A and B are shown apart, each in its own frame.
Chain A
Amino acid sequence: MHELSVCQALVQQLKDIAVREDAARITRVVVQIGPLSGVEAQLLRHAYPVASAGTVADTAELILESLPIRVRCESCGAESDASTNRLVCGVCGDYHTQMLSGDELLLAQVEFERADESGTVH
């Protein structure tokens, strides 16, 4: 249920970007959520309309990308797929691995429209 807090932080970033880039409307938002980010994508999606209501981003299309869990083994050097509760090397089984992807919680990309001098959004 901390997804609402996370979503509010997302909307705050979108508002800041809109001011900085002089955007009239944010149209598309790409967020990357790894399976090990601790955030449930569907809950974030449900929280978005609530958190963004009345803001420059309230009609934006929210794209949630999930990245695969990949680890690199420190013992044998192999890179392999892993699952949320089994992050050991897929080749040699050693648990001395580093995560390559899968724990992201990132605002990746924002698409927006600017208003021209006449106030027309395009």
Chain B
Amino acid sequence: MCDTCGCNITPGNRHLLQPNGRLEKTPDGREAITVLKGLLSENDRQAEHNRTHFDRHGVLAINLMSSPGSGKTALLEATIEALGNELRIAVVEGDLETENDAERIRAKGVPAIQIATGTACHLDAHMVHDALHQLDLDNIDILFIENVGNLVCPASFDLGHHRNVTLLSVTEGDDKPAKYPVMFRAADLMLISKTDLLAVLDDFDPAAAERHLRNLASRAPVLQVAARKQRAIDPWLDWLRMEVAAQRERVAHDETLRPAVQLDGQHLHVGAKLRPLHNFVRLP
């Protein structure tokens, strides 16, 4: 949702809109003002600012979210090894403490900025903005923002990125999308990770995981990846290549893209002319 186009007005709050304007007297003489503004509108404003930065420099920004230990950093290491000669990659790492993940990424030869959030359970747009000033955006094709490992809080904060990628590892339950609907509903792509372990973890059913995702009315593609020994990440690499091309196309046409969870408000914007910014990627 946004605060500028009126899409915050839903069937549930339309009654609050006053016929005589937004300022009204209550029966006991106090004044009341109708606001209908997102609680996180300050974060959203900063996120739009970040997105403008990314678009101006032609950067595709991807927010990686998952539980702790689902293989986000390992996937990034494998991705850098595979695409490092083809695309210029940089990483912003979010963790409560330590530089460990940023050091792992730097060891692969790409820039990495570590955000130590202290006690905060998520990244927000302001933290990411501070990190951006330490990166040379003109020399980056893809910026990965590896969010704090957490299936709850990161879903609520727009960082200014273009795509949400949510990992679900086969060492977790295949019903995670049903248990954490806010997170998985926000995914533009769901990656089932550590699939090389499926042979020994036969209680995880990838088809069931996808069914739980579809129950959230999600049309996001679902891909499988294995980033370690029996590496298999080609479909993910193809998705990234396609997204980089799509971002270049958008930048050339002065368009941008917000992640999936922003979709609903747009549809509710009565009479709005929808720009074709949210087309889902169809994989062959």
Q: Would you call B152 and A107 a contact (CB within 8 A)?
A: no
Partner of A105, one of B26, B40, B152, B219: B40
Binary contact track A81-113/B, C-beta < 8 Å → 1, others 0: 000111110000001111111011111111111
Question: Is A6 a contact partner of B268 (Cβ separation < 8 A)?
Answer: no
Say what secondary structure dominates the interface of chain B.
mixed
Number of contacts between A and B (CB, 8 Å)?
Answer: 150
The reply on A78 being an interface residue by CB < 8 A is no
Of B16, B121, B185, which is within 8 A of A108 by CB?
B16
The answer on a CB contact under 8 Å between A104 and B120 is no
- Pairwise interchain contact A109-B122, C-beta atoms closer than 8 A: no
CB B223 to nearest CB in A, in angstroms, measures: 18
With A84-B181, A87-B217 as contacts: A106 and B8 at CB distance below 8 Å: yes
Interchain CB contact under 8 A, B32 and A109: yes
Tell whether, in the assembled complex, residue A109 and residue B33 are in contact, meaning their CB atoms are under 8 Å apart: yes
Q: Does B10 sit at the interface, judged by CB under 8 A?
A: yes
Q: Are B34 and A109 in contact (CB under 8 A)?
A: yes
Which residues 23-40 of B have a CB within 8 angstroms of A? 26, 29-40
> What separation, in Å, do the CA atoms of A71 and B97 have in the docked complex?
40
For B267, the chain A residues whose CB sits under 8 A away are 98
Report the bound CA distance from A84 to B263 in whole Å.
17
Q: Does B11 contact A (CB under 8 A)?
A: yes
**B 175-202 contacts with A by CB, 8 A:** 177-179, 181-183, 185
Contact of A70 among B11, B185, B263 (CB under 8 A): B11
Question: Which of B26, B122, B124, B156 has its CB near the most chain A CB atoms (within 10 A)?
Answer: B156
Q: Which A residues are in CB contact (< 8 Å) with B263? A: 98
| Nearest CB in chain A to that of B8: its residue | A106
Q: Mark A41-53, 1 if CB is under 8 A from B, else 0.
A: 0000000000000
| Interface members, chain B 9-56 (any A CB < 8 Å) | 10-13, 16, 26, 29-43
13 contacts between A and B (CB under 8 A): A1-B153, A10-B39, A39-B39, A67-B10, A95-B218, A104-B8, A104-B12, A106-B35, A107-B36, A107-B37, A109-B35, A111-B30, A112-B31
Interface residues of B (CB under 8 A from A): 1, 8, 10-13, 16, 26, 29-43, 120-122, 124, 152-153, 155-157, 177-179, 181-183, 185, 212, 214-219, 261, 263-264, 267-268
Where the two chains meet, the residues of A that have a C-beta atom closer than 8 Å to any C-beta of B are 1-2, 5-6, 9-10, 12-13, 17, 21, 23, 27-28, 30-32, 36-39, 65, 67-68, 70-71, 84-88, 95-101, 103-114, 122
- Knowing that A5-B124, A17-B35, A107-B38 are A-B contacts, what are 11 other residue pairs whose CB atoms are under 8 Å apart, sorted by A's residue number? A5-B122, A9-B41, A27-B30, A30-B16, A87-B215, A99-B264, A100-B268, A105-B1, A107-B37, A109-B16, A111-B31
